[in-house]
Amino acid sequence: MSDGSSSSGSSPRPVTGMLHHVEVWVPDLERAVASFGWLLEALGYEPFQSWADGRSWRLGPTYLVFEQSPALTADRHDRCRPGLNHLAFHVEGAETVERLVAGAGLHGWSLMFPALHPHAGGDRTYAAYLVNADGFEVELVAADHPASAAAES
């Protein structure tokens, strides 16, 4: 099975089944740019597209779009309703998870389950669960945590 990477060192070549993009409708583009823009760039994404009602960030062949659509029917995301619950990202390691958690509050994020951090997902996972002012949750999962690696195999 191909991992999608190319031998030339350029962006990974898309393979069947790989996500092309995810579009998230947000109630306030400025807040989304402040919270998601900071996080995505800290994770290695690069600004990709920009227009009056939206922005996107790209990592390899996949990009994430945040748009304040005039067709929105609510002013806050509810992760407990049908639809998107959260986005989960691989993070280099536990140190990086903690560095991101330390800076998250300055960019509109709050740590969920602080009494259980960093094992809110169980002892086999080292992760942070963050939520922004609009109710969007992200999970940052340390790739170097021995139990996390074992759980994926």
Would you state the pLDDT for residue 76? 84
pLDDT tens for residues 9-45?
Answer: 466 788 899 999 999 999 999 999 999 999 999 999 9
Q: What is the mean pLDDT of residues 4-8?
A: 40
Reference 113, options 140, 152, 73, 94; nearest CA is 140
Instruction: Tell me the three state secondary structure of residue 19.
Output: coil
Q: What is the mean pLDDT of residues 123-129?
A: 95
Model confidence at 146, in pLDDT bands (50, 70, 90)?
Answer: low
Q: What is the mean pLDDT of residues 133-151?
A: 81
The predicted model scores a pTM of 0.85
Q: Is the pLDDT of residue 5 over 80?
A: no
The rounded mean pLDDT for the chain is 89
Would you state the pLDDT for residue 99? 98
Q: What is the mean pLDDT of residues 116-139?
A: 96
Reference 139, options 104, 87, 101, 95; nearest CA is 87
Indicate left, alpha or beta for 135 from its phi (over 0: left) and psi (-120 to 50: alpha).
left
Q: Does residue 8 or residue 59 have the better pLDDT?
A: 59
Overall residue count recorded for the chain in this entry: 153
Q: Does residue 72 or residue 128 have the better pLDDT?
A: 128
Q: What is the mean pLDDT of residues 46-60?
A: 97
Q: Is the pLDDT of residue 127 over 70?
A: yes
Segment holding 142, helix H or strand E: strand 137-142
